[in-house]
Amino acid sequence: MELSVYLNGKFVPQSEAKVSVFDHGLLYGDGVFEGIRAYGGRIFKLERHIDRLYTSAKAIDLTIPHTKEAFAGIIKETCRKNGIRDGYIRPIVTRGVGDLGIDPRKCKDGATVVVIAQRGISLYGDAYERGLKVVTASVRRIPPDSLSPSIKSLNYLNNILGRIEANRVGADEALLLDAQGFVAEATADNFFIIKDNVMMTPYSSTSLPGITRETALELAPKVGVTAVERPFTLYEVWAADEAFITGTAAEIGPVVEVDGRTIGDGRPGKITKKLIKAFRDLVTATGTPIG
């Protein structure tokens, strides 16, 4: 059965959900998007995701042709059209149709708005039970003085190059360093380590300010750890007691190996497992009802 996709004011079958080859989102990655999860008929942190979408759009001077409230309504209606209770939602806003030039002023008809909602997603499959293997990529994360990693744009080539390196060596994820050699983030996830009961993650200046990331920081006291944001190096990753990734699609994924070095005892860490449970309890008990 085909999905029903929202496209510029209409719901169409996924086979008919098409954009112009002159759309700046296709030609130049000129647009923004979000990844959102629904659990048990509720959308987790919907308002927070919409805020981040609009902040990303503002940062690239892109006007979204809906109020935040209206956009939330479109997302909920897309979920209802597809019978979503547990699923993944992808709102996308591009600059719209222009020409082969890069000038965004050529996109005279305004933004292209797409919302896709599909049932279920398991990004790493059974790897959550055994733990994830991560390698450090040779490609560096784009620095904020070139393109802010805080903008969740359609241009993910930097991340994809890192993922290609992970794929070539059979790893589950790749870790990207910043221009100074500090840990930035994984290709599609934020990154955490735990050492001596302190949970650490890099500042979001060199990584996406992830919503699952901020949720993990909020849950830290409930699992008995101190949470801090600070720079750290690969040495501290290799020497960590535990490590994990966070992301909307990934949720919380335990990391048991980085660059061939065993993290902790080589199994998902005790604190990480507590955090996974606390996260699961939260997402299944809160959120905006789909209706």
Residue 271 is predicted with a pLDDT of 97
Which of 25, 89, 90, 33 is closest to 56 using CA atoms? 33
- pLDDT > 90? residue 199: yes
Residue 218 pLDDT exceeds 90: yes
pLDDT at 231 over 80: yes
DSSP conformational letter for 27: H
User: pLDDT band for position 125 (50/70/90)?
Assistant: confident
Catalytic site includes residue 152: yes
The predicted structure's pLDDT at residue 102 = 95
Q: How far, in Å, CA of 157 to CA of 161, rounded?
A: 6
CATH 3.20.10.10 segments of the chain: 127-283
189: DSSP letter = S
Nearest to 182 by CA among 133, 143, 132: 143
> What does the pLDDT look like over 16-34, one tens digit per residue?
999 999 999 999 999 999 9
Percent of the chain with pLDDT over 90: 95
Q: What percent of the chain has pLDDT over 70?
A: 100
Please check the confidence at residue 129 and state whether its pLDDT lies above 90.
Answer: no
- Examine the pLDDT at 127 and tell me if it is beyond 80: no
Span 181-206, average pLDDT = 96
- Specify whether the backbone of 110 is left (phi greater than 0), alpha (psi in -120 to 50) or beta: left
Cβ atoms of 123 and 246 closer than 8 Å? no
> What pLDDT, on the 0 to 100 scale, is given for residue 128?
80
Work out the pLDDT band at 276, boundaries 50, 70, 90. Answer: very high
- Give pLDDT tens digits for 132-185: 999 999 999 999 999 999 999 999 999 999 999 999 999 999 999 999 999 999
Q: What is the mean pLDDT of the chain?
A: 96
In this prediction, residue 113 has a pLDDT band, given cuts at 50, 70 and 90, of: very high
CATH superfamily of domain region 127-283: D-amino Acid Aminotransferase, subunit A, domain 2 (3.20.10.10)
- Cβ–Cβ under 8 Å, residues 246 and 213: yes
Look at residues 274, 198, 251 and name the one whose alpha carbon lies nearest to residue 86. Answer: 251
* pLDDT of 121 higher than 90: no
More confident position, 205 or 178: 178
Q: What is the DSSP string of 68-129?
A: HHHHHHHHHHHHHHTT-SSEEEEEEEE--B--SS--GGG-TT--EEEEEEEE---SSTTHHH
pLDDT at 66: 98
Q: Which fold has domain 4-119?
A: D-amino Acid Aminotransferase; Chain A, domain 1 (3.30.470)
State the pTM of this model.
Answer: 0.95
Question: What pLDDT sits at residue 224?
Answer: 96
Choice among 58, 152, 195, 277 that is catalytic = 152
- CATH 3.30.470.10 maps onto the chain at 4-119
